Structure 1
């Protein structure tokens, strides 16, 4: 019971500890959790993205055709004109035009003529500037329930890099292209909007999706701390307006068309018509390399494509609520406790592996359905709980083994002690009622003998006698209860069960008599006195257990009327001038084998009946003579 209480306390502590860790989110555990999240993308494999998003790639072929990067604004203008000819639905640029050039007016006229060009802005977070032109604020989303932001402040900035004003005034909209990597440098989250002096400026992907879907500005709304509305389309977010990016795949997952092919009319019209066209760099050395769960070097423009596709298809990955994770931690460790207390260590390991596999499979299944269940805290609590439980169990087993060894090492053979250590439940130290066979042995005339011999001679004689008798008792796997002066008390069928306990007792008794006779011959040759013993044996119910004063003196023994009867039978040997007397209860157990001469050269003779305290009927007794 004490061990179970310790396991319960340990379980509660582990559950609370890992729940607290989940809220604290220590960096080492978070990194492991992130890597598991990344692994799920690779296990899931590539998914087919929508075909209405095309990347107009500034690739090696484009650089060879149009010259090294950066290009002059007239080349960008020519590209936008071509895309307009192809009837592109939305043109979003992943290029910042923050410095003026001589061809800015030409590009501005082209952007105005196209009417569907979205330009990027970049926010800074370590400086504060005066508010910029009103053009970018016109792209801001309206806010529902803004009071919720008092608790969860969205990402905010008071400094922004915008395109040249001549270009800004002609753009159809603006979106930020800021990326926020996790602590390991990997881009997993998309910040859908940034607070700029109270204006919620959308990300380039969000603004692009809104324009492509034809959502009017007044229906582009932020439900503070909960999500974003694009008309009737709802995109749930975390409290800070973020979503986990549901990447479709690694490099090249979206269709790439070289700008060189576009400007030279080598592309079929239906490849660009009514499509979202993202203009960005993919050539080695000029694109903004991004580490993502699906690639160690994904072009930033392709990250934008993934976000746009997920927004339009209604795909997202949202982390489950903190409450759910904490409940899973509590449920898993207490389920483990329930099972571990009923199973051996080997089976506990199997249970642990099954539970860990279940956590990972459940998390992966939810991942494929757009929900991220943090694995490390639930699985970590399971693993640590298992180690703690096994350690406590091992420590308790060691303590129990030492206790059993201490209690039984002087009573039974080492073989029995080892068996009890393997199966502690076989020794119920608290006490139980069990049928046992009890043997009492006493030396006849010991008092007179001890008066005639010096004490050291008496002790020497007794030690040799007891040593030989104990060896025989242990041979027949009896439990040597105690030496009482010149008397011996032994019992069978406890602590280990012995179906043939009466048989063992009689075999032991016969051998004790024979051994004593041999000792007497030896002592006679040595000039030492002879010893005679009387033995009484009875079989019956008795209380077996560790009895005594807790923490002071405890003995594993048997008590009860059947024990008292065995002691009385031993004393009757004087009256009947016999060596062995057994009760009718022991005789009934052995009658068939006695009649079959199983015990060898012995004679059994009924002596009559004796009255026994506590029994209504007299008890028959039998004399056993060893030939």
Structure 2
């Protein structure tokens, strides 16, 4: 019964914990933040490369097959700064680098793109340096530049200039326009730092360089599309009517700002109800604005103003580079917010044939022997469309492939010093240049030395230069190594399953065993989640499920401790008067309480009584009699308890006890017989030290059979005792000793259970009072091999 009750309680506790954690997941960010730390642990546990020593000091390292071989970082490192001089370099130096890649003999062996992670937002003092770099960018024809987006709008004096620079990039390369979903809710950038117009016109493409900083200042995500909002004009609230029109196909929207600077979207199309509600809300929360309607320099009044925006959706520089690598443009991209960015029919350039081919990635890396020779070629998988998972704001989780690289140490991605590409004279004639430098590679040029423009950023694997963060994000796309969180419904089912499993475990096993099993289960679960993350990029939440599992375990343990301690006290109070401490301990350790209130069981009952007690009492004072009787009862009771019998009661000088309850005992009849023999021996020892007038003689009756055992009495006063004909027979046998001048009589029922283990003398076949059927009785003489 106790197990069923504990199981039900465990189910109720698990249900409550599930509802609590579901509420916490929906209303707080605590588990989202913890999950970021779990994600960091996944990254740190990933297996990146394997290495093998082939001779002392020489080590062969197998490149991670999940890293694209076509990503190359050219780092402006300490060696470069030492050779060239102070940063920033003259732009003529960058021009030499860009031209170096363009002037090779076989143009089919050229790089796919050159990304300059360097900002050209203001001209240099020497204009010819800018002219040289712009010319080299035009000559190369494959250079990509980045633009920086900012939250705050630019100063009014620079606003038009900056937007014109950005429009140049739009005109040359394009925008992302195929967007489905709630694009208005994407966080907006109002400021921007695009490259100078000549650079924008000369570049092959562009992209924003922004990353998303999480609450702990660590960079784990990149917005593959970012919303740059331009204020078209301010509209006085009274002028806003149901006839007001905006072009949603051009991503135009309306919004208002409260006194705390928070922006609130205005639903469209406008209705009278929307306008009335807007009026009330702005009167409560919006600051009025002084406005000059006619532009004469005189303030015409204060109005609540509505902001009329036009939004532009810019690709991340990594997305632009990936599109270039796959022979696509931003106009080809389809975006479904909260789901994916779709790149249809991607292709891959083959520098050996000079042809664009269907896009493939390595599904299984090549196998090599001990000497590094390929024994089994790599298996490739063709990608017919690439779907990049994004959240509702267009962010992709970056799948970091390894720890930060060093230009002269460990390298997750190959890093080459910048200075190696700008030294020496450039060939004026491409036919005299090198045959190939980086066929079909995406070259990413950026700072790679400490202290350069604060370009080091914290990542899950440590401080990393911005250009390498871009490389990890680009690799995530090129190699289809996406991190995909499981759907929300699967998260809920997973949480529910873990909670109920641990509740089931904790309710049915001992506390120590359930604690060990719970810890082992959660450890194995975490390792399984890590393996799933490493092998397939599936991100299964562990912080909420692991915490909920531990919480469930502790909650059920607290419940069990409270209820079991209560039950232990009840058992101890109830049975300590009847049975030995060992039996009480066994009762406490049982998984279920003994059934109380009356139950039929096969037991053995034992009655003993002093012969001639009345005569003895007449020769002693009451105090002497009590002391003498207590000495006798103490010795007899100790023997009963030592054999784990249950003491029922004392009736004057009579003792009633039994075996087989509350603890089941298969040998209950034998225990009773052993007790009788030991008591007779103990009585001999007592009589030997007592004077003749105080010596005792006792009679013992033992019977076995089905009896009713349980708590008898009233709710206020109970006694754990026996009832039934077989109990009465045992009492009759005790009195029968007087007739046969014996000390111990057992019934045929008891004898049948112990006949191979006792020595008896058959006495008679008698009919006792209250019994119609005769009963065969035996005198118990001894027990065989009794210790």
Q: What TM-score results when the alignment is normalised by the length of structure 1?
A: 0.86
Counterpart pick for 2:571 among 397, 401, 404: 404
Change (3 A) 1:574 1:43: farther
> 1:206: how far off?
0.8
RMSD value, Cα? 3.3
Provide, for residues 206-262 of structure 1, a one-character-per-residue CA deviation record: whole Å limited to 9, x for no partner: 112212322134212322222212334322212221111122333133333333332
Corresponding residue for residue 121 of structure 2 = 98
Corresponding residue for residue 307 of structure 1 = 473
SS in 2 for 1:51: coil
Counterpart pick for 2:654 among 487, 490, 497: 487
Corresponding residue for residue 122 of structure 1 = 148
> 1:326: how far off?
2.3
1:555 aligns with 2:668: no
SS in 2 for 1:38: helix
Counterpart pick for 1:221 among 313, 317, 334: 334
SS in 2 for 1:410: coil
Counterpart pick for 1:286 among 446, 452, 473: 452
1:478 aligns with 2:591: no
Q: Please list, as runs of the form range in 1=range in 2, the aligned pairs for 1:220-239 lying within 5 A after superposition.
A: 220-232=333-345, 233-239=386-392
Is the 8 Å Cα contact of residues 169 and 201 (structure 2) preserved in structure 1? no
Counterpart pick for 2:765 among 600, 608, 618: 608
Give distance in 2, aligned partners of 1:71 and 1:517. Answer: 114
> 1:505: how far off?
2.3
Counterpart pick for 2:8 among 5, 8, 13: 5
> 1:300: how far off?
0.9
Corresponding residue for residue 180 of structure 2 = 145
Give distance in 1, aligned partners of 2:414 and 2:678. Answer: 96
SS in 1 for 2:178: strand
Counterpart pick for 2:482 among 316, 324, 337: 316
Corresponding residue for residue 394 of structure 2 = 241
Is the 8 Å Cα contact of residues 536 and 570 (structure 1) preserved in structure 2? yes
Give distance in 2, aligned partners of 1:271 and 1:189. Answer: 32
SS in 2 for 1:123: strand
Corresponding residue for residue 254 of structure 1 = 413
> 1:339: how far off?
3.5
> 1:609: how far off?
1.7
> 1:177: how far off?
0.8
Is the 8 Å Cα contact of residues 486 and 539 (structure 2) preserved in structure 1? yes
Change (3 A) 1:278 1:574: same
Corresponding residue for residue 34 of structure 2 = 29
Q: Please list, as runs of the form range in 1=range in 2, the aligned pairs for 1:477-556 lying within 5 A after superposition.
A: 477-513=644-680, 515-516=682-683, 524=691, 533-549=698-714, 552-556=716-720
Give distance in 1, aligned partners of 2:553 and 2:48. Answer: 27
> 1:354: how far off?
4.1
Give distance in 2, aligned partners of 1:439 and 1:97. Answer: 105
Is the 8 Å Cα contact of residues 481 and 556 (structure 1) preserved in structure 2? yes
> 1:480: how far off?
1.0
> 1:190: how far off?
1.6
Provide, for residues 10-34 of structure 1, a one-character-per-residue CA deviation record: whole Å limited to 9, x for no partner: 3223333344444433177345424
> 1:592: how far off?
4.8
> 1:520: how far off?
6.1
> 1:301: how far off?
0.8
Equivalent pairs counted in the alignment come to 611
Change (3 A) 1:562 1:57: same
1:439 aligns with 2:606: yes
Give distance in 1, aligned partners of 2:710 and 2:34. Answer: 51
1:14 aligns with 2:21: no
Give distance in 2, aligned partners of 1:61 and 1:521. Answer: 107
SS in 2 for 1:178: coil
Corresponding residue for residue 278 of structure 2 = none
Structure 1 unmatched ranges of 5 or more:
598-603
1:201 aligns with 2:314: yes
Is the 8 Å Cα contact of residues 188 and 245 (structure 1) preserved in structure 2? yes
Corresponding residue for residue 77 of structure 1 = 95
> 1:328: how far off?
1.5
SS in 2 for 1:489: strand
Give distance in 2, aligned partners of 1:58 and 1:511. Answer: 97
Change (3 A) 1:474 1:43: farther
Change (3 A) 1:451 1:505: same
> 1:106: how far off?
4.1
Give distance in 2, aligned partners of 1:64 and 1:473. Answer: 96
Q: Please list, as runs of the form range in 1=range in 2, the aligned pairs for 1:422-461 lying within 5 A after superposition.
A: 422-423=589-590, 425=592, 427-429=594-596, 432-443=599-610, 455-461=622-628
Corresponding residue for residue 601 of structure 1 = none
SS in 2 for 1:188: strand
Change (3 A) 1:366 1:522: closer
Is the 8 Å Cα contact of residues 186 and 291 (structure 1) preserved in structure 2? yes
Corresponding residue for residue 365 of structure 1 = 531
Is the 8 Å Cα contact of residues 499 and 549 (structure 2) preserved in structure 1? yes
Is the 8 Å Cα contact of residues 426 and 496 (structure 1) preserved in structure 2? no
Provide, for residues 545-579 of structure 1, a one-character-per-residue CA deviation record: whole Å limited to 9, x for no partner: 344445x3343322222112212333445666655
Give distance in 2, aligned partners of 1:420 and 1:247. Answer: 58
> 1:325: how far off?
2.3
- Structure holding more helix per residue: 1
SS in 2 for 1:477: coil
Give distance in 1, aligned partners of 2:565 and 2:575. Answer: 15
Corresponding residue for residue 258 of structure 2 = none
SS in 2 for 1:270: coil
> 1:490: how far off?
0.8
Change (3 A) 1:43 1:326: farther
Change (3 A) 1:581 1:171: same
Give distance in 1, aligned partners of 2:681 and 2:556. Answer: 53
Change (3 A) 1:590 1:277: closer
Corresponding residue for residue 86 of structure 2 = 68
Give distance in 2, aligned partners of 1:509 and 1:51. Answer: 91
Give distance in 2, aligned partners of 1:241 and 1:524. Answer: 103
Give distance in 2, aligned partners of 1:31 and 1:145. Answer: 28
> 1:450: how far off?
6.4
Give distance in 1, aligned partners of 2:77 and 2:601. Answer: 90
Is the 8 Å Cα contact of residues 156 and 196 (structure 1) preserved in structure 2? yes
Change (3 A) 1:503 1:269: same
1:167 aligns with 2:202: no
Give distance in 2, aligned partners of 1:99 and 1:487. Answer: 112
Give distance in 2, aligned partners of 1:305 and 1:471. Answer: 83
Counterpart pick for 2:325 among 199, 212, 221: 212
SS in 1 for 2:656: strand
Corresponding residue for residue 277 of structure 1 = 443
Provide, for residues 287-315 of structure 1, a one-character-per-residue CA deviation record: whole Å limited to 9, x for no partner: 61122233x23221121122222222322
Is the 8 Å Cα contact of residues 243 and 318 (structure 1) preserved in structure 2? no
